[in-house]
Structure 1
């Protein structure tokens, strides 16, 4: 199979020499400047139109904004602060009411009777009952001899609240058993008035008392005696 290669250059040279081809080239050269002129004119026209439109919008585009002279005006007035304002005085709380008068205090006295004693020794019963604590507490009799009931430590009975509230007075008479060491090891109620009102207070008090031990032939012995606890209210 044979391949034929043709040379196009003689063909182009022959076409260049023809009058038709030359006329076509001249027509293209004439039309090319006309396209540039049209584009330039169009761009100038469009730019001018845009510029005129913006100018109209900015300067006078509308009569929509009207000047109103009847609009209210606001005036700001600065007030002068008064510097002579007196501060509010803090009210003082009212004074507390005077305290109520305290209830009457209890005055309790204790009488001592040593008519009986252990070991068959006679003990004088004439005891001094005038000794008192001076503060409304109990008064306790004291003996003068070695065999008498001599209190060394006393605890005041507590006045019952019911009796204090109702202003009731009374007494309790007790028989006490004193150990050789001087402590109370037994208390028996012999008499009380009003019955049962002051019994508990009197018994609780005497069990905390201590007495001087009784000695016989140089030896401490047990002893007995009676105590009368009187409950009184000071006037």
Structure 2
């Protein structure tokens, strides 16, 4: 049964292939079998006509017409006035009498006006000195003077030991009279009275030192003395 179906399928396939080949031959050969008919048209060949007056290559550009310049105006003739001769006297013969002026220099009439004296010349002002940042007491015109001065506190230990003391200090009095930059130079006995001196000096006030009337920063060196019998 299977072989029969295969044979039928081969038969159908062969028929289909032959049909395709026959159709191809017909479609390709049919146009060659028809007679070729030439169709002639009644239209005549139309030829373009060139209406140019000049042949190509010889045409020249036409220059635009330029307006003609107007004719120059004729020169104007200015009539000159006619001078008629007169019988007047020539200018060279004219004489004029000038009034005489007395211009004698040195007469009282010429010495008019108020004499003006030249302003007196002022002596040049003395140049202001250039101040330094600070001065020593020997450099100022006026040394600082104390205006508010509190007494240093006597240390308790010095009182208990019945000791006297001296402290050499150096400090700066600025232009406002305040004290700064305090330093202890020497103290006897050593370091016993230092704290009391530092605390008191920070509250002192001075009138500042001056140079030519101007306040300046001034270094002050002094000795503060402690006496037990002055308590």
User: If the length of structure 1 is used for normalisation, what is the TM-score?
Assistant: 0.38
More helix by proportion, 1 or 2? Answer: 1
